[in-house]
Amino acid sequence: MIRFECDYTTGAHPKILEALVNTNGEACPGYGVDIHCERARAMLRELCQAPEAGVHFLVGGTQANTTVIAAALRPHQGALCAETGHINTHESGAIESTGHKVLTLPAENGKITARQIGQYCQDHYDNEAWEHMVQPGMVYLSLPTELGTVYTLAELEEISQTCRRWKLPLFVDGARLACGLAASDVTLPDLARLCDVFYLGGTKAGLLFGEAVVITNPALNHDFRYLIKQRGGMLAKGRLLGVQFETFLKDGLFLEIGRQEVAQAMRLRETFLAKGCPLLVDSATNQQFPILTNGAVSVLKHKYSFEVWEKVDQAHTAVRFCTSWSTTDADVDALIADIQSLSM
């Protein structure tokens, strides 16, 4: 079975693992104030050209999302989000568990626009019953989105401007940001400049686990470590996060892994298109969503793991193939060959 079902099937990239093994015996203080975390923080601030930013290492994405959102909102506020956004669909109500509504906007290919955000705010305050409705209190985006699409820098600039006009903190979920950076014209300094907070995900880019939250809005960063602790995200052996991110950030390893995941996905994309398979959404990153005949799904299932995404019609199903740091050229070659020989 060759696995394309997700980007977290295997352990850590060899360099990450090696760093963990090499530092295993070191005695460090707990909870993320060790030398490795400090170094990784400094590196990330420099990469972001944000010397004052708060940098916090959390274990996972749902944890990062809830902690940031709980920190940013007052009780009567909600987070604006694409209806397909991860916090709306796949976190078992984590945001609501902190007392906040997810305010959804219709999404096109997983993306929302500055115009939609502005209109939502306008409509809210124009409504006579505004105080009886959840106030939009922040904006949540994913880059890339849950459907693999990316925001352009121009789109992000416009969204950021709209957020500032309406005084809404902008939060970018970067669980797959390594791929996002490889596939868009957005850079880390852009994110630091345009967002109030974002994170660079490690779990889906070759770390055992770990998300690096960068907070450029000082009000949001204030007392943030209390919230990490309260929400269960303060890892006792915090050095594990420091060691991994130190390695991930060094010499552009995170960019390299992102580029490689995307490159392999692009080979799959071209194969599907050449074969005449439509794509549910034209993803620029490491998730690809071809629409296959049900017969083709059955054939491929014998040799490959992948995710059934949705039924398109009686005869067709959209599926998801995902590349990861550990996807080999041979894995992709095999899949390409099998796609090419499908009778569609």
Chain positions 26 to 45 lying near a copy of itself, rule: CB under 8 A, are 26-31
Q: Give the DSSP per-residue string, 258-327.
A: HHHHHHHHHHHHHHHHHHT--BSS--SSSEE-BEEEHHHHHHHHTTEE-EEEEE-SSSEEEEEEE--TT-
CA gap 197, 171 in Å, rounded: 5
Q: Which of 136, 148, 169, 233 is the binder for a copy of itself (CB under 8 A)?
A: 233
CB of 131 to a copy of itself, least distance (A): 5
Nearest alpha-carbon partner for 77 in 52, 95, 60, 58: 95
Nearer to a copy of itself, 135 or 184 (CB): 135
Q: Considering the rule CB under 8 A, would residue 302 count as an interface residue with a copy of itself?
A: no
Query: Which stretch of DSSP H or E encloses residue 140?
Result: strand 135-142
CB of 306 to a copy of itself, least distance (A): 12
Q: Considering the rule CB under 8 A, would residue 287 count as an interface residue with a copy of itself?
A: no
CB of 41 to a copy of itself, least distance (A): 16
CB of 108 to a copy of itself, least distance (A): 19
Answer left, alpha or beta for residue 303, where phi above 0 means left and psi between -120 and 50 means alpha.
alpha
> Judging by beta carbons within 10 Å of its beta carbon (0-12, 13-18, 19+), is residue 87 exposed, middle or buried?
buried
CB of 135 to a copy of itself, least distance (A): 6
Q: Could you tell me which residues are beta bridge partners of residue 311? A: 317
Q: Which of 15, 39, 101, 275 is the binder for a copy of itself (CB under 8 A)?
A: 101
Q: Considering the rule CB under 8 A, would residue 119 count as an interface residue with a copy of itself?
A: no
Residues in Cβ contact with 130 at an 8 Å cutoff, skipping those fewer than 6 apart? 124
Nearer to a copy of itself, 38 or 282 (CB): 38
Nearer to a copy of itself, 9 or 152 (CB): 9
Q: Which of 15, 38, 43, 98 is the binder for a copy of itself (CB under 8 A)?
A: 98
- Torsion 102-103-106-112 (CA) sign: negative
Nearer to a copy of itself, 234 or 291 (CB): 234
Cis, peptide link before residue 144, omega less than 30° from 0: yes
Nearer to a copy of itself, 70 or 153 (CB): 70
Helix (H/G/I), strand (E/B), else coil: 250: helix
Of 98-106, 145-153, 270-278, 283-291, which part binds a copy of itself (CB under 8 A)? Answer: 98-106
Please give the radius of gyration of the chain, using alpha carbons only, rounded to the nearest integer: 21
Site residue total, a copy of itself (CB under 8 A): 76
Tokens linked to 101 = 């509504």
Residue matched to tokens 């060094």:
250
Of 107-115, 166-174, 220-228, 263-271, which part binds a copy of itself (CB under 8 A)? Answer: 220-228
Q: Considering the rule CB under 8 A, would residue 74 count as an interface residue with a copy of itself?
A: yes
CB of 208 to a copy of itself, least distance (A): 6
Interaction mask 164-203, a copy of itself, x per CB under 8 A? ---------------------------------------x
Q: Considering the rule CB under 8 A, would residue 131 count as an interface residue with a copy of itself?
A: yes
Q: Which parts of 313-342 interact with a copy of itself (CB under 8 A)?
A: 326
CB of 342 to a copy of itself, least distance (A): 23
Q: Which of 46, 49, 93, 301 is the binder for a copy of itself (CB under 8 A)?
A: 93
CA gap 241, 59 in Å, rounded: 8
CA gap 2, 18 in Å, rounded: 25
